[in-house]
Amino acid sequence: MQDDISTYSILIVDDKPLNIDLLRKYLDEDNYLISAATSGRKALRLLNKIKVDLILLDIMMPEMDGYQTCQAIKNDPNISSIPIIFVTAKIEPEDLRQCFAVGAVDLITKPVHQDVVKARVKNQLFQIKQLQLEKRLQESNKLAELGSMVAEITHEVASPLGNLRLSIDYLVEKNHDIMRDFEEQKLSKDSLSNYFKKVEKALQMSSSNINLATNIMLSFKKVAVDQCSNNLLSFNLHQYIKDILLTLRPKLKKYRHEVIVSIDETIELNSYPGVLSQVLINLVNNTLLHAFDHNQSGKIEISASLEAQIVKITFSDNGIGMDENSKANAFKKYYTTKAGEGGSGLGLPICKELIEDVLEGKICLESTLGVGTTFIITLDQDVSKKQPRTTSSRD
- Average pLDDT in the 185-195 region? 86
Shortest CA distance to 124 belongs to which of 112, 135, 132? 132
Q: How far apart (Å, rounded) are the C-alpha atoms in residues 261 and 319?
A: 17
Least confident of 162-171, 212-221, 301-310: 212-221
State residue 32 phi and psi, 5-degree precision. Answer: -70, 160
Domain spans in the chain, listed from the N-terminal domain onward: 5-112, 138-216, 230-393
CATH architecture of the domain 5-112 equals: 3-Layer(aba) Sandwich (3.40)
| Cβ proximity of 231 and 272 under 8 Å | yes
Digit-coded pLDDT (tens) for 337-353 = 766 565 667 778 888 98
> Has residue 216 got a pLDDT over 80?
no
Confidence class of residue 141 from pLDDT cuts 50, 70 and 90? Answer: low
360: phi then psi, degrees, rounded to nearest 5: 55, 40
Minimal CA–CA distance to 333: which of 141, 123, 149, 146? 141
Residue 167: its pLDDT value, please?
81
Q: Which CATH number fits domain 230-393: 3.10.20.30, 3.30.499.10, 3.40.50.410, 3.30.565.10?
A: 3.30.565.10
